[in-house]
Structure formats: structure tokens, C-alpha cells
Amino acid sequence: MAGHSRANLPPLSLHVPEPRFRPGDAVDFNGFDVPPAGAARRPDTGDAPADFHELSYGLVRVLDEEGHAVGPWDPKLSPDLLRRMLRSMVLLRAFDERMFRAQRQGKTSFYMKARGEEAVAVAAAYALDADDMCFPSYRQQGLLIARGCPLVDMMNQIYSNTGDKLGGKQLPIMYSEKRFGFFSISGNLTTQYPQAVGWAMASAAKGDNRIAAVWCGEGSTAEGDFHSACTFAAVYRAPVIMNVVNNQWAISSFSGFAGAEATTFAARAIGYGIAGLRVDGNDALAVYAATMWAAERARLNQGSTLIELFTYRAEGHSTSDDPTQYRSAEESGAWPLGDPVVRLKDHLIALGEWSEEQHAEQDKACAEEVRAAQKAAEANGILGHGLHQPLDSLFDGVFEEMPWHLQEQRQQMLDEEEASGRPWARK
């Protein structure tokens, strides 16, 4: 009888998200809602999260179409700081270009560029204190560049050569830099979220004044680790900034598969009762201002902030990805929020503190700096030329004292390699 009562209802159907544009489609972002720069209000850092829910649905923007900084979120940075931020972004772009070519030349196995997302990491790095702890995902190499990590050290890790402080045990681009407050990158998605929240809770429990910041992609918000971290951050008011980099695309699927069709990623903050901001991720001043605001809240024991950084991945997910297979080639050029490097450059020019000629010279200088670093790093070897670390070091770095069964395995490996006659077994 129960079945008869539903006889007039249509059959159930399953919704499968579909991106706006596929390969070959003409791209038209005219219906894309971009709020004007300066329109979003800036709450006091002591305000309760429930008092500014609308900021999870709008878009915090500072730079307008003419390159002027407007509105209450304008951080009013000095020209010197703006130039330093711009140089870090340009240096990151030059670094990415050269390492991408190195992978194509067979010098390393893998690389991931941050093109189009340079402001996401660089502007945040300048807004945080140098001793704040960063828990990055795999496209935030700009944190290291902005904090002054030697490019040679980064390249040594990419090449897994004799200069690699990680001993060749990490996939290229998965850096670990304690000197620069940069937690080890993991290839497993979103593991860094509960780690960052736990670190922030420990900092608060010790009465320290350092905070944590963490990044993940929008697709990673579908992982359980993300939601576990949000629960702990909300309950214990952990001093942590949780960044969701919404660059519109995972490796081959668009943001709709993570829930972007239903609402914004910043809106997840509302359900957890924490502060939420949705920010123009291609606006370096907006990223800086939002990060500074969230950092102040954390240091004042107002708890965590979830920031959605609305941006666009201009190129492939990695060197293993071909984006032309799943999205229109026109998307990158038509993206309505522009290029973060160009927007910051235009702002400095509008202030009378920069010029196209100075920018061209800086491009050349950064390219030369990266080229020189590559030459120095390649003197230590490249990944394509085989093993650069002592073979028995494969077992090091896990236990303070190696257990007996691993000692036996290591010796068995060395005996087999010695019997094979390979000269690199005991380097």
C-alpha cells in the first residue's frame, strides 16, 4: 500500500555536477558575480562570528579595476612593503617556470606551479609573524620564498640530490623547513589540517603567542580531516587560520564536486560557529588584510578563522596533468579577477611608486637569480641521474634507535647490493 501512495511521484534522479565550460566551449563570465572592491564591511576583530555571516558569501576586495586600494579592508601598506611582496611573487613565478622546464627536461620527476595563485601564499606570509607556524598544501612554495628560504635548498629537494636535507625521501616539491616555520608537506590530502589545529592548541596551552596557519584546496574540504579539524578549532577556540584555496579545479574535476554549487566554502565556517571570510585570492592586498585580521583575532583569543581564497589555477594541476582535456583553454585568460602579479604591479604604478620599465628589469633580475640557483643546485646532481644518497640511509630518520628487525632488513639489502656489484651501494 505504501508504494501505491507514491505512484504519481516522478522517479528519483541523481544530480551530477557539471562545470560551466568544457574543452572547445566559448567562455563567458559575464554572469559571474564580482562585488565591487571596497564594498565588504570590516568587522572589529573582537566581534562574534554570528555578527558577520554575510562575509562568508560576498567577496573581500581591496584593489579596484584602476589599481587603487579602496574600502575598509585597505591595509594601507607602505610602498616598500608592496614592492617586496611584488618581488616575492615575481620570484616565485620565475622559480616555477624554470623548475617546470627542468621537469620537462627529465631533471626531476614532478613539479607543481602556483601560477595565478601567487598572492595566496606570498601575501599571507608577509601578514604573519616570522615565527608563526605554517602548514601548507603542495602549492604554497611562495611561503618559503617570501620568508627567505634559499632557492638552492628548495631545488636540492626537487632534485633529490646530495644537497637534499630530506635525503631523497620526499616527493619533489614536498618541502620541510623548520628554519622558516614550514611544516612537512604530505601527499595525503588535508592531513595538515588537524596537525595545524593541534599545534595551535598546544601553543595556547603553553601560553605562547604564536599562531598557526594552514592551507588546503577546495576539493580537500570533502575529506574527513578537514571537518575534524574544524570541530576541534571551534570547540577549543584554537589560534589558527584555516585557508581554503578555491582555485576552481582539482586535478580533473571542478569545485562543484566538493560542494561549490550549493554554497561557498567560507560558509562552512557558519556551521561550526567560527569566523568566515570569502576573499579575492588574486588581490594581494585583500589576502594580506584578511590574514592580518584573522591573525589578530587568534592572538586575542577570539578563536580560528576560515578564509576561502577565491582564485584560479591558471595552468595544470601538476606536470602530470593536461587541463585541456577537461576545461576550456579560454578560461584562464577570461578569469574575471585577473592576474595577481599584474594587479599588484598596476597598484604600485598607480601610486607612482613603480613603472613598467622597473618591472621588466625586476623580471630579468629574478630570472637570473633563479638561473644561478639552478646551476648551483645541479652541481649537487639531478634526480634523473640516479641515486644521490647512501643506500643504507633509506632506513634512517624514522626511529631514534633503529629496531632489530629493521637492522636485519638493512643488512640484507646491503649484502644483496654488494653481491650485485653496484658501486653506489655504500656511498
What percent of the chain stands above pLDDT 90? Answer: 87
User: Do 89 and 189 fall within a single domain?
Assistant: yes
pLDDT at position 146, please?
A: 98
Question: Please, which pLDDT band fits residue 426 given cuts at 50, 70 and 90?
Answer: very low
Residue 72 lies in a domain: yes
Q: With 70 as the cut, is the pLDDT of residue 213 above it?
A: yes
Assess if residue 24 is contained within a domain.
no
| pLDDT attached to residue 2 | 56
How confident is the model over 126-147, as a mean pLDDT? Answer: 97
Residues 411 and 277 grouped into a single domain: no
The CATH number covering residue 327 comes to: 3.40.50.970
Q: Identify whether 165 is part of a domain.
A: yes
Of the pLDDT bands very low, low, confident and very high (cuts 50, 70, 90), residue 4 is low
pLDDT in tens, 291-336: 999 999 999 999 999 999 999 999 999 999 999 999 999 999 999 9
Q: In this structure, are residues 192 and 135 in contact, taking their beta carbons and an 8 Å threshold?
A: yes
Nearest to 134 by CA among 91, 184, 99, 84: 184
Does the pLDDT at position 422 exceed 90?
no
Q: Which among 313, 327, 343, 347 is annotated as catalytic? A: 313
Does one domain contain both 370 and 264? Answer: yes
Same domain, 379 and 401: no
The whole-chain average pLDDT of the chain stands at 94
Query: How large is the average pLDDT for residues 166-180?
Result: 94
Q: What is the pLDDT of residues 360-409, one digit of tens each?
A: 999 999 999 999 999 999 999 998 787 788 888 888 888 999 999 999 99
Radius of gyration of the CA atoms of the chain, in A: 24
Q: Exactly one of 20, 299, 326, 410 is catalytic; which is it?
A: 326
Does residue 43 sit within a domain? no
Q: What are the tens digits of pLDDT across the range 45-91?
A: 999 999 999 999 999 999 999 999 999 999 999 999 999 999 999 99
Residue 427 forms part of a structural domain: no
pTM over 0.85: yes
**Sequential DSSP letters for 322-360:** -GGGTS-TTHHHH-TT--HHHHHHHHHHHTTS--HHHHH
Say how many domains are in the chain.
Answer: 2
Residues 6+ apart with CB under 8 A from 401: none
CA distance 61 to 284: 9
Instruction: Name the residue range of residue 412's domain.
Output: 390-420
| Res. 425: pLDDT tops 50 | no
326 in active site: yes
Q: Are residues 359 and 397 in the same domain?
A: no
Together in a domain, 258 and 278: yes
Angle of CA points 58, 63, 65, to nearest 5°? 100
Residues 179 and 195 in one domain: yes
The pLDDT, as a whole number, for residue 33 is 87
Give the pLDDT confidence score for residue 252 in this predicted structure.
Answer: 83
pLDDT band at 424 (very low <50, low <70, confident <90, very high): low
Does residue 361 sit in the same domain as residue 396?
no
- List, for residues 176-196, the tens digit of each pLDDT value: 999 999 999 998 889 999 999
In this prediction, residues 407-426 reach a mean pLDDT of 80
313 is catalytic: yes
Q: How far is it, in rounded angstroms, from Cα 137 to Cα 120? A: 12
Q: Are residues 415 and 335 located together in one domain of the fold?
A: no
Q: Across the strands, what pairs with 277? A: 307
Q: What is the pLDDT of residue 385?
A: 82
Residue 9 domain flag: no
Residue 33 inside a domain? The answer is no
Instruction: Please identify which of the residues 237, 278, 297, 317 carries the catalytic annotation.
Output: 317
Same-domain status, 282 and 258: yes
CA 189 – CA 174 distance, rounded (Å) = 13
231 and 306 part of one domain? yes
Is 167 in the same domain as 74? yes
Q: Domain for residue 364, yes or no?
A: yes
